[in-house]
Amino acid sequence: MINFEEEIEKFQPSPEIEQAEDVIYNNDLTDISDILKELIKEERS
């Protein structure tokens, strides 16, 4: 049987995943919420 506690202790995340997370989180991309906030701001002005 699999000892889940032991397996969790041995777990190490893939370096590629960490690199991808850094790229994703450090990108300053405009999303729909940014666009909506800007439209609302313009409408109120």
How many residues are present in the chain?
45
Question: What is d(CA 36, CA 21) in angstroms, rounded to the nearest whole number?
Answer: 26
What integer pLDDT is reported at residue 27 of this predicted model? 83
What integer pLDDT is reported at residue 38 of this predicted model? 94
Ranges under pLDDT 50 in the chain:
none
What integer pLDDT is reported at residue 22 of this predicted model? 86
What ranges do the domains of the chain cover? Answer: 13-44
What integer pLDDT is reported at residue 30 of this predicted model? 83
Element (H, E) at 37: helix 32-44
Question: Any residues with CB less than 8 A from the CB of 15 and at least 6 apart, and which?
Answer: none
